[in-house]
Amino acid sequence: MTITGKIQKRLCAGAALAMLAAALLMPAQAAGAPHVTPDTTVAEMRANEGIMGSGVNTWDRGDLLPEQPWMYGHWTLRRFIGSTVEDGVAGLNLIIDNYNQGVQVTYPIYTPEEIAADPSLAEVELYYFPATQPGAKYALVLAGNMFERTSVVKEACGAVSQLHEMGYGAFILRYRIGRDLKDNANYKDLVRAVQFITENAEKFEVQAEDYALVGHSAGGQLCAIFGTDRMGYSNYGLPKPGALLLAYPIINYMYSKPAFFYLYDGAEPGDHLAPGDYYYNIEVAAEVSSDFPPTFQWYGRNDNTLKGIFFPLQSPALDRALEAHGVMHQMLVFDNAPHGSATGTGTDAEGWLYQAAAFWEQAVAARHAGG
């Protein structure tokens, strides 16, 4: 062997040793946080480096009745999520994949100064799921909530897994709930989220316009309010949504309104809000105009939650209003799709989000064609 060859051999050996040493010193992230499965427990999921490191908050309760560490920890994700577990797990694994690839997942949408003035704003977060290709349309997903509880893992994670599969960029909004709902806090969070994405569309590699709002239950009501002339997108100089995609939305809180007023706003309207302007007092069907975004919605006939607040004033009322004002719309009604069915897997609503995405594409095409 020549002297040059010996030198090259020694250099290669040294480089190999250096690479080995570097590999041993690499953080665990580089090796890749492991995926979760339906049989992973909730405690194991929350302890996963990819979930913890991403900053995603998987606790589903607010501050008034917080979820305690011993609650649900021993449950498997199969039990915690239910029949849509495969979709929810796929969404959780997207979070882990993005973390492993060095993608920033969690974004605060309020400034440090705003949070210092109102600490409840620290709870509000936006979770980012990049599209497979830059320049895609995006969907902002809102889970439902019941006073102190949300369904981010079940509803929102399942939805983003399917949206990602279809090639869209996606975001989950963790909005304020429970005792922090004073003065339309949750709706303000939605508005700020759309503002934040619009201002940072280039950074997120998504289109600023033609986006969809995907709302479940109470989250669906917030998305629908965003389409109104009274409180919606036009009041904030924001682009009109390409479509609203609503799963078992609450359109009218009916006799729950006084309870919300007392619980959240102390039964004393602020100077800046008339009683009718509180989000829970908005009867969306009565607020529809010709500028309302194209709307896809669905519910199940065995939805006992909507039955409890009078079916006819929910999706059917919104559907009639959309028809009367010439707004592009589609409503599906399933025999077996209880409230909280999320992606609908295991019910008659299975695949609804794919149908909704097709509607969204049709609505955007019609808009650009001048239809």
Instruction: Give CA–CA dist 106/317, Å, rounded.
Output: 37
CA angle 97/98/101 to nearest 5° reads 90
User: How far out from the chain centre does Cα 220 lie?
Assistant: 11
Instruction: Give CA–CA dist 322/244, Å, rounded.
Output: 12
Query: What would the pLDDT profile of 1-59 be if each residue is shown by its tens digit?
Result: 443 343 334 433 443 333 333 333 333 344 699 999 999 999 999 999 999 999 999 98
What's the one-letter identity of residue 207?
Q
Query: How do 243-247 and 295-300 pair as beta strands?
Result: parallel
Query: What would the pLDDT profile of 325-359 be if each residue is shown by its tens digit?
Result: 999 999 999 999 999 999 999 999 999 999 999 99
Instruction: Give CA–CA dist 321/23, Å, rounded.
Output: 62
The residue whose two tokens read 């729950």 is 256
Question: Would the pTM count as exceeding 0.75?
Answer: yes
Query: What would the pLDDT profile of 217-248 be if each residue is shown by its tens digit?
Result: 999 999 999 999 999 999 999 999 999 999 99
